[in-house]
Amino acid sequence: MRLYFVILLVSLSLACEKKTETPRSNMNNAASNQNAAVARTTPQTSVPVYTYEIVNSYNHDSDSFTQGLFFQNGFLYESAGGDGKSDLRKVDLKTGDVKQRRKMESKYFGEGATVLNNKIYQLTWQDGKCFVYDLNTFEPLFTLAYNGEGWGLTNDGTNLIMSDGSHQIKFLDPENFRVIRTINVFNNGKALTNLNELEYVKSEIWANIWHSDEENILGKENYIARINPADGKILGWIDLKGISPDDVTRDEENTLNGIAYDAATDRIFVTGKRWRRLFEIKIAPKS
């Protein structure tokens, strides 16, 4: 009888040890999957829709396949994509003239860009590289690596914030691109994919949605999603339909893509891929 109890105790002890040996990554994945399942099955309540007023209109290089846009020290900075045509440029807002430019190697396709601590970070689409430049000289400082695709890039003053074409937005350490945390974006229980160019505006993440469709949004093109950076919830939609009537003949790839915010003067700028105009806009709720 004593021998039986000894064997029973040893068996229970081994079983407990096996449970504690479960890899932490698996536990995290299980928790993430559970959270994602909850998000998918919990429809989001209706959110406000905003319209726009054009305050000013400026020239924009119609050869620029705009993938990243931000405003710094009175100038627009733009990351342009395209095979063999990708570059980083500093642009005079009033004239649209390019004041400074750094071309990328022809094998790279430029994507989102942002500035943090006087460094410009520029993503590549499918090469897993982020090039980091000096803000003033455009001289390369170092290169960071990441997995997956690079789409949009912005920052909250501390961390980089990146989209990869999925419904996920990652917060990254600007020194080594380590993923600090991830938020998932859902619209009425459905993953909102194709999150593209990003901008951090008054503690919100604003995201262009590449190729808007009826299931993902509201059935219209040219929407920007306003996203809560804490949990990925959609705070509102900005309906920019009809903002660029002079570009109605553009092809399907020349979509709205490019949001820049001037915090010093509270100005918002938007443009699109190969658009001839860049617009300063004001946002107001739809009546």
Report the sign of the C-alpha dihedral through residues 98, 103, 104, 109, in that order.
positive
Mean pLDDT of the chain: 84
| pLDDT tens digits for range 234-247 | 999 999 988 876 65
| pLDDT tens digits for range 36-54 | 443 443 444 588 999 999 9
Task: Tell how strand 49-59 and strand 65-72 pair up.
Answer: unpaired
Region 116-126 average pLDDT: 98
For residues 192 and 167, give the distance between their C-alpha atoms in angstroms, rounded to a whole number. 5
**Amino acid identity for residue 47 in this structure:** V
For residues 136 and 207, give the distance between their C-alpha atoms in angstroms, rounded to a whole number. 27
C-alpha angle 92/97/101, rounded to 5°? 90
pLDDT value at residue 15: 39
Local structure of 228: helix, strand or coil: coil
pLDDT confidence tier of residue 249, bands split at 50, 70 and 90: low
| pLDDT tens digits for range 136-148 | 999 999 999 999 9
Task: Look up residue 254 and give its two tokens.
Answer: 């020349």
| pLDDT tens digits for range 64-74 | 999 999 999 99
Region 106-126 average pLDDT: 98
Helix (H) / strand (E) element for 17: namely: helix 2-20
Residues in the chain: 287
